[in-house]
Amino acid sequence: MIRIALAYGKYQFHSHARTWTLLDKCLKDTIYNSLIDHLRGLRIIAELTEDSDKLLISTVYWDFKLAN
């Protein structure tokens, strides 16, 4: 699920952290279309390591407040 979020999730940058959130529109017309109800709202918060080629994931959770 983390790989799906990193590949298809909506990317944002806030306060030195990067976030990826899976929204319906991110998964529509992909091979994961049938799993939208199970993946909706998955959010990853991570930052780049000092060598900038790896992510240090700090939090993974579901944001249940997201609308369809």
| pLDDT tens digits, 40-55 | 999 999 987 777 678 8
In a domain, residue 13? The reply is yes
Closest CA to 43 of 29, 67, 14, 64: 64
Q: Cα–Cα distance between 51 and 49 in angstroms, integer?
A: 5
In a domain, residue 67? The reply is no
- Of 5 and 65, the structure prediction assigns the larger pLDDT to 5
Residue 19 has pLDDT above 90, yes or no: yes
User: HEC profile for the chain?
Assistant: CHHHHHHHCEEEEECCEEEEECCHHHHCCCCCHHHHHHHCCEEEEEEECCCCCCEEEEEEEECCCCCC
Range of the domain at 11: 2-62
Domain count within the chain: 1
